[in-house]
Amino acid sequence: MQAQAATHSECIGQFEPTVLVHGGAGDIADSGIPLKKLGVKRAARRGYEALIKSGSVLDAVEGAVNSLEEDVNFNAGNGSVLTWDGDVEMDASIMNGATLEAGCVSLARDIINPISLARRIMETTRHRYIAGEGAMNIAMESENFKILQKGALVTEAAQKSLENYKASLNRTRSKRESQIYGSPGTVGAVAIDACGNVAAATSTGGITGKLSGRIGDSPILGGGTYADNETAAVSATGHGETIMRYNVVSRMLALVQHANHTAQEAAERVLNEMTQRFDETAGIIAIDHRGRLGIHFTSKRMSWAYQRGEELHFGVDAGEDQLEIVGEPRVPPL
Ligand code: GLY
């Protein structure tokens, strides 16, 4: 039987509460950097505020990912890329590291926040993964989800990206070129509270030009997402087919659990090995069971940010770590 997890307020001082987010790994253009940075900073702050106010790492990762899903500059929710047929089909998953409870959804349509649907699946059904019509029925039965008109999530930018992708395939079958236009930009968040409870969440529109019904790594536990208080919370981004074939997140967790790696060491080792073996790139954010952060990508860039206390760190390029001092949200009285 699992022990009842201690609450955030009972553990003040044991771990430093932190919310770390990513806005996707890939070829981010120079012109896109300011909005990516703004978006990940905003998401980290929203997640951190939720963590401090409610003490819940699930609220933290859901809030952070909601912020990125609502922002058209990221490939999730409002900014989702399109299938070959020009539709939006989204995947998401959320996991609680204290209980190993999880909720996963695929082929979600016409809602802005698939991560909240994944959480609803976790909290209100006896299943852990529901796709397509069944998942949308759960959204429709809940007053928490606004069901948009068909096509409302299709943006001009995503249409242009699909056109460019199709044109690139006509010109060449080069894998590298198709990656540029099909560039993934999944979003994710990991969080730790003062007791060492962790959670992870990942949400995505997938990859541009994917076949209808294609599911990527993001909703696959151990593929693109996982959280376990005894090892780490992890969210991956990049080429989903490769990430799931290499079982990226499971490999990382095994290194933390059995080889005493830090989150950073494990992220670097697994992603570098994956990229060497498959010639494909990806990114990872992680917080391990000792509260240590891992941020690594083998793509050209990955937008990320984290808030810990008054410090808001963020970056896009390899080795970049900018710091802003922000106000810490007020802790409500006990
Ligand atoms: N990593 C997101 C996807 O490939 O769907």
Is 331 inside any structural domain? no
Element (H, E) at 90: strand 90-96
Integer CA distances (angstroms), 213 to 30, 259, 296, in order: 32, 37, 30
202 is catalytic: no
Q: Is 29 exposed, middle or buried (0-12, 13-18, 19+ CB in 10 A)?
A: exposed
Domain count for the chain: 1
The rounded percent of the chain whose pLDDT value lies above 90 is 86
**The two three-digit tokens of residue 253, written as one number:** 């967790």
Report the pLDDT averaged over residues 217-222.
98
Is 7 inside any structural domain? no
Is 200 inside any structural domain? yes
CB of 83 closer than 8 Å to CB of 214: yes
Is 185 inside any structural domain? yes
| DSSP output for 216-239 | -STTSBTTTEEE-TTSEEEEEEE-
In this prediction, residue 48 carries a pLDDT of 98
Q: What confidence tier does 328 reach under pLDDT thresholds 50, 70, 90?
A: confident
Q: What does the alpha-carbon distance between residue 293 and residue 308 come to, in Å, rounded to a whole number?
A: 11
134 assigned binding-site residue: no
Q: What confidence tier does 1 reach under pLDDT thresholds 50, 70, 90?
A: very low
In this prediction, residue 5 carries a pLDDT of 58
Is 235 inside any structural domain? yes
User: Ligand 1 centre and the CA of 13: distance in Å?
Assistant: 36
Atom nearest to 224 CA in ligand 1: 1
pLDDT tens track for 282-295: 999 999 999 999 99
Is 330 inside any structural domain? no
pLDDT tens track for 133-190: 999 999 999 999 999 999 999 999 999 999 988 988 876 555 554 454 455 579 999 9
Q: Write the DSSP symbol of residue 327.
A: P
In this prediction, residue 36 carries a pLDDT of 96
Domain containing 66 — which CATH number?
3.60.20.30
294 assigned binding-site residue: no
Range of the domain at 238: 14-325
Annotated active-site residue in 186, 202, 204, 242: 186
Alpha helices in the chain (DSSP H): 33-54, 57-69, 114-124, 132-141, 156-171, 175-181, 240-246, 248-258, 263-278
In this prediction, residue 38 carries a pLDDT of 97
In this prediction, residue 168 carries a pLDDT of 83
55 assigned binding-site residue: no
Q: What does the alpha-carbon distance between residue 63 and residue 116 come to, in Å, rounded to a whole number?
A: 9
Residue 55 has pLDDT above 50, yes or no: yes
Report the pLDDT averaged over residues 240-258.
97
Report the pLDDT averaged over residues 290-301.
97
Within 6 Å (CB) of ligand 1, which residues are found?
184, 186, 204, 206-207, 216-218, 224, 237-240
Average pLDDT, the chain: 93
User: Ligand 1 centre and the CA of 238: distance in Å?
Assistant: 6
Pocket test for ligand 1, best of 88, 179, 207, 212 (most atoms within 8 A of CB): 207
Atom nearest to 239 CA in ligand 1: 4
User: Ligand 1 centre and the CA of 234: distance in Å?
Assistant: 15
Is 8 inside any structural domain? no
